[in-house]
A and B are shown apart, each in its own frame.
Chain A
Amino acid sequence: MPPGYDPSRRRRTTPAARGRDARHEDGPGHTARRADGRGGGMTTPDVRARGLAAPLAGWLPEQRWFAGKHRTVRTVTPVSCVALVETEPLLDHVVVEVAYAAGAPDRYQLLLGYRRQLPEKLQHVRIGAVDDLVAYAGLWDDVLAEELLRLLDSGAVRGGLRFRPEAGAAIPRGEPSRVVDVEQSNTSVVYDESAILKLFRRLTPGRNPDVELNRALRRAGSEHVAELLGEVEGELLGDTVSYAMVSAYAANSAEGWAMATASVRDLFAEGDLRADEVGGDFAGEAERLGEAIAAVHADLADTLGSTELDRAGYAELSTGMIGRLSDAVGVVPELAPHADALRTEFAAVAGLTDACPVQRIHGDLHLGQVLRTPTSWLVIDFEGEPVKPLAERLLPDSPLRDVAGMLRSFDYAAEHLLVGDTADDHQLEFRAQEWAARNRKAFCTGYAGAARVDPMRHAALLRAYELDKAVYEVVYEATHRPAWRSIPLRSIARMVAAGS
């Protein structure tokens, strides 16, 4: 749930480090002990999963996608076990319920591979042994990753899991696969250059908006999403859940964050040139990005409907912002000096009367959620704000929330290189703000040109959304990355000063 414009979360381990990390409890190639003298093929998924409960309790908290890292895990209980592949290597789909010492339990989805002998290259994803089988993270196994696409291709139904290819989609087959090695709240597997499968790790009841919105946009003919190829969904203890989605992979693409920060770096190296004078100017890209986001919003409104914010809507928005602010001030005292100004600002939202549309939006938009391809900008990851409960993420919201998210991201891109800069370089700080201002403006220009709503004409609401987001960022940074909290804090100070 970090803000996506955090570069460090995308840091990968090097291949060498990965090799050393591998845990070799039995030594490579050793066969697990036979407990009962029977072959693993005779057991069932449930039996296997139960046998793994203890190793899983240790393994889960080490996974990147495991959100409960700072909580104490009490028990790990399989609540659903389905055999997907029944010849070795076996593949089981397992949902575990993780109970903590305190608080509500979580449900996580696992794909467990089983082999009698684990090849060297899979040792690093070994989980533990059950009977004569070694269990491991199945997605890392080429053979099993391919099985998933085979199941999708054939529209298979296994237990409560339905593999559903999109109508007319060509599911790639026989491609080598690799697990995307970045910090992520889910796990993605890339099939060479053709497809990417995203396994939703933490399961909550209900359809995942990522699937739903991608499908809607694709049907609307949007050029700004990767083609949805299929999904895996099903019933889990009486609820419908989304398990995974498969989309076309944009092989030649780069994240907006990487593009934007390359531009900032170029600017900083110039010293005395303005943001519009340097070779690495990003404004053209920012403007086209604005156009792309506007097009996505228009398509979402057309296919899934839109209404307008009414008095009650504004009031509710205002209450939400004030509530989050109060919580935040309690956690980060440095917010206190701005609290009054912010509260006034948020309170004013209740009195707004501009006709502003509300519709389905992205919900967690920032430079890490957009990919530049040779032909256009793509928007990915429509899961919405991860901290919010699913039901809330499905509610219509103002597209200005997305615009505000992107504007905040430009600020982050401009400022993040200055974090920890003890020299307190005014020149660079000035350049950074100039860069942010230039690209924020270009983004809004592009957006306004292609959208039905001009962000500039809802300045007060846009500001409130930005400040609301910045407040969220302060809390996030204070908890996870204290050195960084200066970025949103300074933005708040600047905005508050400019507003008064």
Chain B
Amino acid sequence: MSETVVRPVPDEHEGSHVTADGQVTHPQPADYRSARSLPTDPHWFKRAVFYEVLVRAFNDSTADGCGDLRGLTAKLDYLSWLGVDCLWLPPFYASPLRDGGYDISDFYQVLPEFGTVEDFVLLLDEAHKRGIRVITDLVMNHTSEAHPWFQESRRNPDGEYSDYYVWSDADERYPEARIIFVDTEESNWTYDPVRRQFYWHRFFSHQPDLNYDNPRVQEEMLSVLRFWLDLGIDGFRLDAVPYLFERDDTNCENLPETHAFLRSVRKVVEDEYPGRVLLAEANQWPTDVVEYFGDPDVGGDECHMAFHFPLMPRIFMAVRRESRFPISEIMQQTPAIPSGCQWGIFLRNHDELTLEMVTDDERDYMYGEYAKDPRMRANIGIRRRLAPLLDNDRNQLELFTAMLLSLPGSPILYYGDEIGMGDNIWLGDRDAVRTPMQWTPDRNAGFSQANPGRLYLPPIMDAIYGYQTINVESQLNSSASLLHWTRRMIEVRKRHPAFALGDFHDLGGSNPSVLSYLREYKGHADPADEDSPEIHDVVLCVNNLSRFPQPIELNLRQWEGWVPVELSGLVPFPPVGELPYLLTLPGHGFFWFQISARDEGT
């Protein structure tokens, strides 16, 4: 079996071009065929299990050592088997790759080593065929300095693109705006010797910020959006949304103008592409992030989803401290969100485990506990994968995953974590957690047919996490594997709408090491369909954050007479009585119960 296919020669007409008179032209959606579409479902993202996959790291179909879109397409059956509903692909656009592809030099072109726009359409089509949706990052705030817009802008201060970026004669404006990449940048302004002015950038100096005060920039970005939506993409993760506009005497974050623009983006989606989703990346406190959902009176009119950043470090902290309070605290501080919205929650992703949303004390603590070696640290986070963070302890891996799948929000799995892949802290930048997916114990972990020396990064080869030990093939063959376990849990989650749609109620309890909560959903089986049956689904989740066995007494008075049925084996537990409900859990153990009316049986 050879997965190698010959990559179609990139069409020289692919992507944007600059005409002789300095006009940047972009391709049209009509230049391509579109993927088949899935039925319109305005709420799919609330129930979806997301899977973040790096195209480069997943599967190489061309034997050039680098994963590509066709390689990913070939693995869709695996993802569908696992129960994934939506893929999230970090940027795959043309880019000089100085910031992992977040420095886009052409929004209309696929990075050549990943394939072509046609390959992407093929991926979309095959994914939709399996009921899987695909979203990708759209970096709205800035472009690469290599983008033709910027090149034209710096070359011609009076031309059509002169105001596409934020230029200034001095580097003093907006002093309240913090510097985000404190490790590498000294200022948000950089001098451009060509135009002889400073340009504004919130991130790296090679990523100039687009000037959203220019209506043409707004139009351009809407055209980018429409291009990919016309091809069939299911939505976008909007990268770095808080920073779109700049205003004097502000910190240039979360400005009203930014929200107004997001509303206009949402309106395009709503009017022209219903059922597609916008996911905000705003690494802020939940109380501030909710602003990005927009007006709650209309169910939200900005982004459909937003990442819940502070939850993730709190989960790690709670387990290390054997105390539920870090989680209870952040959940209590998490405001209600508009009815049409959903959080996105995750344990790990391609960035470091971000510690921006914790206090200094907590950050020191996390470093001390989870990043014992300075190389494990990056920027203000920890560059490790889930399994090594948890000492490869199966019980903790299961506990963490169970919380990910049961806390409010749509879970986002990170590729490879379903088999407990390791990391390589000796690789630079954040590459530690971006190594090739481990498919088989064969050469290159089954990821690529290339000469091992050609791989974009070496696969993990150590004794514990190396691909000879940890790989999809061997875990598929063992029903006790983490992979099979993860799949079963996803399956259970999907059987119970309460996990996705239910209210969250922290049950507290006198044992601080146990985190228990109820998820309760009452409404239509399909919330968008008034004709679908009315259901009442109640799930009780009990998590022992301690390594020791623990008892817990729960106040379930409201459910007196109801029967908790354990969800993995459907074993009915004693009915809830008048007294507090007593459970005992093994160290790092957890239970999921459905609370069923007595006569329902099981």
Q: Does B349 reach chain A (CB closer than 8 Å)? A: no
Closest to A13 in B: B579
Q: Does B131 reach chain A (CB closer than 8 Å)? A: no
* Pair B557/A372 contact, Cβ less than 8 Å: no
* Pair A192/B558 contact, Cβ less than 8 Å: yes
Write out the residue numbers on chain B whose beta carbons fall within 8 Å of the beta carbon of A375: 329, 332
Q: Does B506 reach chain A (CB closer than 8 Å)? A: yes
Write out the residue numbers on chain B whose beta carbons fall within 8 Å of the beta carbon of A181: 579-580
Q: Does B508 reach chain A (CB closer than 8 Å)? A: yes
Q: Please measure, in the bound complex, the distance between the C-alpha atom of A269 and the C-alpha atom of B547, giving whole angstroms.
A: 9
* Pair A263/B558 contact, Cβ less than 8 Å: no
Q: Does B512 reach chain A (CB closer than 8 Å)? A: yes
Shortest C-beta distance, A247 to chain B (Å), equals 16
- Please give me the 10 A-B residue pairs with the lowest Cβ-Cβ distance, nearest first: A252-B508, A279-B320, A254-B512, A374-B328, A374-B329, A15-B579, A374-B332, A176-B557, A259-B512, A251-B508
Write out the residue numbers on chain B whose beta carbons fall within 8 Å of the beta carbon of A280: 320-323
Write out the residue numbers on chain A whose beta carbons fall within 8 Å of the beta carbon of B32: none
* Pair B511/A281 contact, Cβ less than 8 Å: no
- Looking at A178, A190, A262, the one whose CB has the most chain B CB atoms below 10 A away is A262
Write out the residue numbers on chain B whose beta carbons fall within 8 Å of the beta carbon of A269: 547-548
Closest to B545 in A: A262
Q: Give the number of A-B contacts (CB < 8 Å).
A: 82
Write out the residue numbers on chain A whose beta carbons fall within 8 Å of the beta carbon of B528: none
Q: Which B residues, 310 to 327, have Cβ-Cβ distances below 8 Å to chain A?
A: 319-323, 325
Shortest C-beta distance, B542 to chain A (Å), equals 14
* Pair B510/A254 contact, Cβ less than 8 Å: yes
* Pair B558/A372 contact, Cβ less than 8 Å: no
* Pair B322/A262 contact, Cβ less than 8 Å: yes
Contact A12/B508 with A178-B578, A266-B322, A375-B332 known, Cβ cut-off 8 Å: no
Q: Does B97 reach chain A (CB closer than 8 Å)? A: no
Q: Does B361 reach chain A (CB closer than 8 Å)? A: yes
Q: Does A449 reach chain B (CB closer than 8 Å)? A: no
Contact A254/B555 with A15-B577, A121-B578, A269-B548 known, Cβ cut-off 8 Å: no
Choose among B323, B328, B555 the residue that contacts A193 (Cβ–Cβ < 8 A).
Answer: B555
Starting from the known contacts A15-B580, A259-B323, A266-B547, 4 additional A-B residue pairs (CB-CB under 8 Å) come to A14-B582, A15-B577, A176-B560, A375-B329
Shortest C-beta distance, B342 to chain A (Å), equals 23
Contact A255/B510 with A279-B322, A279-B369, A375-B332 known, Cβ cut-off 8 Å: yes
Q: Please measure, in the bound complex, the distance between the C-alpha atom of A262 and the C-alpha atom of B506, giving whole angstroms.
A: 20
Q: Does B365 reach chain A (CB closer than 8 Å)? A: yes
Q: Which A residues, 159 to 198, have Cβ-Cβ distances below 8 Å to chain B?
A: 176, 178, 181, 190, 192-193
Q: Please measure, in the bound complex, the distance between the C-alpha atom of A277 and the C-alpha atom of B367, giving whole angstroms.
A: 11
Shortest C-beta distance, B559 to chain A (Å), equals 11
Query: What is the size category of the interface that chain B forms with chain A?
Result: 35 or more
* Pair B328/A176 contact, Cβ less than 8 Å: no
Q: Does A219 reach chain B (CB closer than 8 Å)? A: no
Write out the residue numbers on chain B whose beta carbons fall within 8 Å of the beta carbon of A266: 322, 546-547
* Pair B325/A258 contact, Cβ less than 8 Å: no
Shortest C-beta distance, B310 to chain A (Å), equals 13
Q: Does A253 reach chain B (CB closer than 8 Å)? A: yes
Q: Does A284 reach chain B (CB closer than 8 Å)? A: yes
Q: Please measure, in the bound complex, the distance between the C-alpha atom of A253 and the C-alpha atom of B511, giving whole angstroms.
A: 9
Q: Does B406 reach chain A (CB closer than 8 Å)? A: no
Write out the residue numbers on chain B whose beta carbons fall within 8 Å of the beta carbon of A279: 319-322, 369
Q: Please measure, in the bound complex, the distance between the C-alpha atom of A229 and the C-alpha atom of B512, giving whole angstroms.
A: 26
* Pair B579/A18 contact, Cβ less than 8 Å: yes
Write out the residue numbers on chain A whose beta carbons fall within 8 Å of the beta carbon of B513: 262
Closest to B578 in A: A121
Q: Which A residues, 454 to 478, have Cβ-Cβ distances below 8 Å to chain B?
A: none
Choose among B321, B509, B546, B580 the residue that contacts A178 (Cβ–Cβ < 8 A).
Answer: B580
Q: Does B553 reach chain A (CB closer than 8 Å)? A: yes
Q: Which residues of B come within 8 Å of A, CB atoms?
A: 319-323, 325, 328-329, 331-332, 361, 365, 368-369, 506-513, 546-548, 553, 555, 557-558, 560, 577-580, 582
* Pair A252/B328 contact, Cβ less than 8 Å: yes
Q: Does A34 reach chain B (CB closer than 8 Å)? A: no
Write out the residue numbers on chain B whose beta carbons fall within 8 Å of the beta carbon of A14: 582
Q: Mark A257-281, 1 if CB is under 8 A from B, else 0.
A: 0110011011001000000010111
Q: Please measure, in the bound complex, the distance between the C-alpha atom of A258 and the C-alpha atom of B509, giving whole angstroms.
A: 11
Closest to B512 in A: A254
Choose among B548, B553, B555, B577 the residue that contacts A192 (Cβ–Cβ < 8 A).
Answer: B555
Choose among A263, A284, A372, A374 the residue that contacts B322 (Cβ–Cβ < 8 A).
Answer: A263
Shortest C-beta distance, B560 to chain A (Å), equals 8
Shortest C-beta distance, A415 to chain B (Å), equals 19
Write out the residue numbers on chain B whose beta carbons fall within 8 Å of the beta carbon of A374: 325, 328-329, 331-332, 506
Q: Please measure, in the bound complex, the distance between the C-alpha atom of A374 and the C-alpha atom of B555, giving whole angstroms.
A: 18
Q: Please measure, in the bound complex, the distance between the C-alpha atom of A193 and the C-alpha atom of B557, giving whole angstroms.
A: 10
Q: Which A residues, 341 to 395, have Cβ-Cβ distances below 8 Å to chain B?
A: 372, 374-375
29 contacts between A and B (CB under 8 A): A12-B553, A14-B582, A176-B560, A178-B555, A181-B580, A190-B555, A192-B557, A192-B558, A251-B507, A252-B328, A252-B332, A252-B506, A252-B507, A253-B508, A254-B325, A254-B508, A254-B509, A254-B510, A258-B510, A262-B546, A263-B322, A265-B546, A277-B368, A279-B321, A280-B320, A280-B322, A281-B365, A372-B325, A374-B328
Write out the residue numbers on chain A whose beta carbons fall within 8 Å of the beta carbon of B319: 279
Write out the residue numbers on chain A whose beta carbons fall within 8 Å of the beta carbon of B332: 252, 374-375
Write out the residue numbers on chain B whose beta carbons fall within 8 Å of the beta carbon of A12: 553
Q: Please measure, in the bound complex, the distance between the C-alpha atom of A176 and the C-alpha atom of B558, giving whole angstroms.
A: 8
Write out the residue numbers on chain B whose beta carbons fall within 8 Å of the beta carbon of A121: 578
Q: Which A residues, 274 to 292, have Cβ-Cβ distances below 8 Å to chain B?
A: 277, 279-281, 284
Q: Please measure, in the bound complex, the distance between the C-alpha atom of A375 and the C-alpha atom of B331, giving whole angstroms.
A: 11
Shortest C-beta distance, A33 to chain B (Å), equals 29
Q: Please measure, in the bound complex, the distance between the C-alpha atom of A252 and the C-alpha atom of B510, giving whole angstroms.
A: 8
Write out the residue numbers on chain B whose beta carbons fall within 8 Å of the beta carbon of A259: 323, 512
Q: Please measure, in the bound complex, the distance between the C-alpha atom of A176 and the C-alpha atom of B361, giving whole angstroms.
A: 41
Write out the residue numbers on chain A whose beta carbons fall within 8 Å of the beta carbon of B325: 254, 372, 374
* Pair A15/B582 contact, Cβ less than 8 Å: yes
Q: Please measure, in the bound complex, the distance between the C-alpha atom of A165 and the C-alpha atom of B558, giving whole angstroms.
A: 26
Shortest C-beta distance, A383 to chain B (Å), equals 21
Q: Please measure, in the bound complex, the distance between the C-alpha atom of A193 and the C-alpha atom of B518, giving whole angstroms.
A: 14
Closest to A192 in B: B557
Closest to B547 in A: A269
Q: Please measure, in the bound complex, the distance between the C-alpha atom of A192 and the C-alpha atom of B505, giving whole angstroms.
A: 14
Shortest C-beta distance, B396 to chain A (Å), equals 11
Closest to B364 in A: A284
Shortest C-beta distance, A208 to chain B (Å), equals 24
Choose among A178, A190, A262 the residue that contacts B323 (Cβ–Cβ < 8 A).
Answer: A262
Closest to A190 in B: B555
Q: Please measure, in the bound complex, the distance between the C-alpha atom of A218 and the C-alpha atom of B122, giving whole angstroms.
A: 65
Q: Please measure, in the bound complex, the distance between the C-alpha atom of A259 and the C-alpha atom of B319, giving whole angstroms.
A: 13
Q: Please measure, in the bound complex, the distance between the C-alpha atom of A281 and the C-alpha atom of B511, giving whole angstroms.
A: 17
Closest to A251 in B: B508
Q: Please measure, in the bound complex, the distance between the C-alpha atom of A277 and the C-alpha atom of B557, giving whole angstroms.
A: 40
Closest to A371 in B: B510
* Pair A265/B548 contact, Cβ less than 8 Å: yes
Write out the residue numbers on chain A whose beta carbons fall within 8 Å of the beta carbon of B329: 374-375
- Looking at B368, B506, B557, B577, the one whose CB has the most chain A CB atoms below 10 A away is B557
